[in-house]
Structure 1
């Protein structure tokens, strides 16, 4: 077996310059793929770099997309695991910044469920979802609370209202975490094991989810269309060509019919 010790492309992370890529040689294909994914060559450093203002998540996704294209072409790729670790979350002066670490994606955990047979093992997976250090539920709660703080910082009636709405959603997420914890504890004490002749989990019927979302989304967009915004201060009526929500006729203006 022929082992290749040096990869065709290697991705790493620079503390100041972000994600960087180095190539084994000057093959045009390597340069073409990296430039296609917005990497630019630095003659001074002899590496490819993403733009300095690239958000962390976008940089990780870009590296993953480029790596996939290289691998599909039969090339070898190496990547520093530190790339997936985001920067610490900003904190007020005098308060230590909370260090971040990569959490397992819900997609990965869902895939893991398909391989498990014991209730205790499923309980362990659930514990990772609401783990207070890197679980998906606490991270989602913090994300929504931060989005609420952003809205409140607008210091407008709409901003404060939306901030309150988001904080209510964050509380629902916290409640969801408590209910998942209860389910996890129940599974942990169950001695049950999936029978050998049980059908694959992938064949188990799943309920149809979120049939109500299109209606809610339409209502929310319609509400936003007639709400005040920086481009339409409060008290200014919408233009005639801006449609009102379906079915919401004004008491002074009869709804049009065909």
Structure 2
């Protein structure tokens, strides 16, 4: 990662050196150490850019900095293509601009994408951390590796639950009323609150079409989605 300045003001040198850039006399640019981790590079560039902008200076940054390096793979296994990072913060901000349930379903699909979705990335990250612990070859490492793999299973289960929610949103014709308050002014529910999910919503999501799944032919009445005899006792889940 290289940085160049338009003039030789001491302030510019001071800020870049504070963020671990070092000046190269041969190239006449500032460089970060070659072994700086990718996430550290992104944070460093963002921090230095913000400090320059706060001082009233203009900064130009290459957007390709957001493309992470490929994850190492065994010989003969193709590496997964790297994608520009889609942070949850950016996707959360996108939700504030949406009005239709189907549009929210599409955004939710981005974090569930099999190529660059954050849920799959998190599962892979935890599995890799588990393999690192098991590679220690110690009882503690093996125990922690098993614990981490169990957490990865929970992440996979969370992904399945989010797929169900995405399908429900995809078949909902609802849209936010024009007079509804801004989403930022709606208080978030208590994370310990138990949310009821009706059998009707689950059945509708199971048989309805979505942008990510082709519509299926109507089922015969005898093949309808089964319902429990006591429909009033609906299952619960936590957020």
**SS at structure 1 position matched to 2:4:** strand
Distance apart, 1:200 and its partner CA:
1.6
2: CA distance between counterparts of 1:93 and 1:131? Answer: 25
| CA RMSD across the alignment | 1.5
**SS at structure 2 position matched to 1:86:** coil
Q: Specify which of 119, 123, 143 is matched with residue 101 of structure 2.
A: 119
CA deviations over 1:19-59 (Å, ceiling 9, x no partner): 11011111211111111111000011111011222111001
Distance apart, 1:95 and its partner CA:
2.0
1: CA distance between counterparts of 2:22 and 2:140? Answer: 41
- Aligned partner of 1:23 in structure 2 is 5
2:5 is aligned with 1:40: no
Deviates more, 1:137-146 or 1:95-104: 95-104
Q: Specify which of 184, 200, 205 is matched with residue 166 of structure 2.
A: 184
Contact 2:130 2:144 in 1 (8 A): yes
- Aligned partner of 1:230 in structure 2 is none
Alignment of 1:1-258 (within 5 A): 19-209=1-191
2: CA distance between counterparts of 1:182 and 1:208? Answer: 22
- What TM-score do the two structures reach when normalised by structure 2? 0.77
2: CA distance between counterparts of 1:96 and 1:86? Answer: 16
CA deviations over 1:120-163 (Å, ceiling 9, x no partner): 11011100011111111001000000000000000111111111
- What TM-score do the two structures reach when normalised by structure 1? 0.72
Unaligned stretches of 5+ residues in structure 1? 1-18, 211-258
1: CA distance between counterparts of 2:167 and 2:190? Answer: 27
Distance apart, 1:117 and its partner CA:
0.8
CA deviations over 1:213-257 (Å, ceiling 9, x no partner): xxxxxxxxxxxxxxxxxxxxxxxxxxxxxxxxxxxxxxxxxxxxx
Contact 1:151 1:162 in 2 (8 A): yes
2: CA distance between counterparts of 1:103 and 1:133? Answer: 12
Distance apart, 1:199 and its partner CA:
1.6
CA deviations over 1:82-110 (Å, ceiling 9, x no partner): 11112111111222222322231001111
Contact 1:141 1:170 in 2 (8 A): yes
1: CA distance between counterparts of 2:162 and 2:67? Answer: 26
1: CA distance between counterparts of 2:66 and 2:188? Answer: 32
Contact 1:149 1:163 in 2 (8 A): yes
Contact 1:85 1:102 in 2 (8 A): yes
2: CA distance between counterparts of 1:95 and 1:110? Answer: 34
